[in-house]
Amino acid sequence: MKEGCNDLVEQESKVVPVGPAALPDTAALPFTAALPVTASLPGPASLPVAAQDSAIVPVVDVHHDEAGFGAQYAQAPLAIGNASHPTGGFDPGDGDWRTRAPALRHLGTVAGTLLLFAISTYAIPGLSDWRPWMPGESLPMAKMLALKTGDSEGDGNRTIPEGPLSPQQARAAAVETLGSDLAKNLSPETLAAGEGADVPDVPETHSGIKIDLDEMEGLVRPIEDPSGRAMDAFYMALARTAGGKPGAVTRIAHWGDSTIAADDVTGTLRRRFQKRFGDAGHGFHLAGKGSLPYRHKDVRWDEPRNWALHSVISDDRKDGRYGYGGFLQRASGGVKTTFGSSDIGPVGRSFTRFELWYQAHPEGGALEVSVDAGAPQVVTSRSDSVEDRWWSLEVDDGPHQVTVKAAGGGDARVYGVTMERPGPGVVYDSMGIVGARASRMLNADSAHFADQVGHRSPDLLVIAFGGNEAGDDHMNFDKYREQLSKVIKMMRAGRPQASCLLMAPLDQGEVGPRGGVRTMPTIPRIVESQRTVAAAEGCAFFDTWTAMGGNGAMGRWYKSRPRLGWGDYRHASPAGYEVIGSLFYKALLKGFSDFLQRPAAAVPPVSSGP
């Protein structure tokens, strides 16, 4: 196009001149170009030409550099509607507004439909994944509107410093990320250490039978007991222990899955109970490693060579004899395990009684037991028939080391050992089995298991399964409740007078369509099923899932500082397991305190143990 030439733009049978006056000075440019009138143009100029009564000059982008594009831009002024309009732009009073009404009505219809759909996602559960906002999420577009403060993305008001935390920072971070109630359930040792490697011993300042209110600070969820009597046997035994009665030992037996296999939950409970009510010994421990990551706190344990392992969840023993802890461990000779009192930590520093739990049978081998590197004592495990046996020794109260060795001559079969003191005090047995489900406990021979529980004589049976069942998308809950009832009956058969409590699983998370972490849909149904079965069987119930925070809790625990959950959203961190243990401990204290307020609370004879 040469400068000075007139182009013609045809519009509704009108010819509108577009001359040099409407274009920038293009004398210095190597070429000029005019956009077609149908081109998409910014602002009102992008409206269809047929909808305008006046002449239009489209925006003309003229660009040039040595490569022929991109470096310089010139834009022609717009002449739309009334050219004398002070802004040179669109005047709503110009033209026929009726030609725009259909487009606006269409826009309104679309907006209304989207609004109705957004509202329906809150009314129809099946559309919950499409909700524009959920509790706990930032408001829509909040990040776009928020002022930048220099913090990392997504941490708009974050005040937690990076790197290891001091004790003061750890306390502040716990409150900020968990809330004040949950933060009070981090152990005093952990908070006192901050994020350092050395965990100090924080002395217990309470004693006696009365429970002070400050001992229950951070109580989130109480024990549920519809009968009002399910926990009486335990509370009465604990009352005698708390009252300082000689020989008053309160025993707690806790079975569960990987949640307790590393003794983080149960170790927290053992420490809290023993520091508060007295240390009556470590309690039960397997002869070998069990299932990884099996280990116990506040006890010395060394197994240089592994025992052969049979687990109740594997169902690989025809006779169903897996012992009190769910494992039978075998060796023909040379394998040994050393147990000892702890030389660190607040509890477990001494014991007076050591007991070996083993199986006698026609091909049994010899076992040697030596105390403090002394001469071994030989225990024979050969008999005419298969039977469970116990062998014990007494030592002076103090630190000791005991070695159990398979000495050959046959097949030595061991269930585990116990270490105790005379009391008054509490013993907390932890039987964690990785991969366990309640139904798999039924692989045990019921009479054998009842004898094992009866010999141990616990005052409280804690049954804590459900995490592994959470992955069953097509779970039959009628069958699940039936099997769970059978497990409770089997465990109580050996000690029917003991209290019984079902402990719900931890939150199990998954990443949802919205990108956030949500609770697996089976968890609320498992929790409710356990609550129903507990009431039907006369057991108490502790709702761990709700105590953690309910739906999506594991996602929040993963983001907390200190971190309470791992990135699989199925397991807690050691600090998280401490919180679980503390939540349960304070719920038990609350129940015990309420029990002591009863006017007719009676104290039975001393808990009868082996």
Dump pLDDT digits (tens) for 195-248.
444 555 677 888 899 999 999 999 999 999 999 999 999 999 999 999 999 999
pTM of the model: 0.75
Cis preceding linkage at 424, omega within 30: yes
pLDDT for 201: 67
**DSSP 8-state class, residue 77:** P
User: H-helix or E-strand containing 139?
Assistant: none
Q: How confident is the model at residue 172 (pLDDT cuts 50, 70, 90)?
A: confident
Does the pLDDT at position 417 exceed 70? Answer: yes
* DSSP secondary structure, 436-470, as one string: --GGGGGGS-HHHHHHHHHHH--SEEEEE--TTGG
Q: How confident is the model at residue 161 (pLDDT cuts 50, 70, 90)?
A: low
151's CB contacts (< 8 A; 6+ apart) are 157, 158
Distance CA 401, CA 376 (A): 12
Distance CA 430, CA 463 (A): 11
Distance CA 433, CA 430 (A): 10
Dump pLDDT digits (tens) for 518-527.
999 999 999 9
Percentage of the chain exceeding pLDDT 70: 74
3-class secondary structure, 148 = coil
Do the Cβ atoms of 308 and 396 come closer than 8 Å?
no
The burial class, CB within 10 Å (0-12 / 13-18 / 19+), for 65 is exposed
> Which token pair is 404?
């159990």
Do the Cβ atoms of 308 and 330 come closer than 8 Å?
yes
Do the Cβ atoms of 327 and 454 come closer than 8 Å?
no
Q: Which of 346, 322, 326 lies closest to 267 in space, CA to CA?
A: 346
pLDDT for 160: 55
**Amino acid at site 157:** N
Cis preceding linkage at 562, omega within 30: yes
Q: How many helices (H) and strands (E) does the chain have?
A: 14, 22
Residue 17's beta-bridge partner residues? Answer: 8
CATH 2.60.120.1360 is right for the domain spanning 281-421: yes
Q: How confident is the model at residue 4 (pLDDT cuts 50, 70, 90)?
A: very low
Locate the DSSP E strands across 199-320. Answer: 249-256, 283-285, 300-302, 308-311
Same-fold call for 214-278+424-603 versus 281-421: no
CATH 3.40.50.1110 is right for the domain spanning 214-278+424-603: yes
3-class secondary structure, 26 = coil
Domain locations along the chain: 1-96, 100-145, 214-278+424-603, 281-421
**DSSP 8-state class, residue 265:** H
Average pLDDT over residues 59-77: 42
Torsion angle, CA of 150/152/156/159, rounded to 10 degrees?
-90
Does the pLDDT at position 385 exceed 90? Answer: yes
Dump pLDDT digits (tens) for 21-43.
444 444 444 444 444 444 444 44
3-state secondary structure 350-381: CEEEEEEEEEEECCECEEEEEECCCCCEEEEC
User: H-helix or E-strand containing 169?
Assistant: helix 167-178
- How many CB atoms are closer than 10 A to CB 391? 17
Dump pLDDT digits (tens) for 552-587.
999 989 988 788 999 999 999 988 999 999 999 999
Locate the DSSP E strands across 26-80. Answer: 61-64, 72-75
Percentage of the chain exceeding pLDDT 90: 57
Any idea which of 179-193, 307-321, 416-430, 536-550 has the lowest mean pLDDT?
Answer: 179-193
Locate the DSSP E strands across 455-564. Answer: 460-464, 499-503, 509-511, 517-519, 540-542
Place of tokens 């470590």: 282
pLDDT for 423: 87
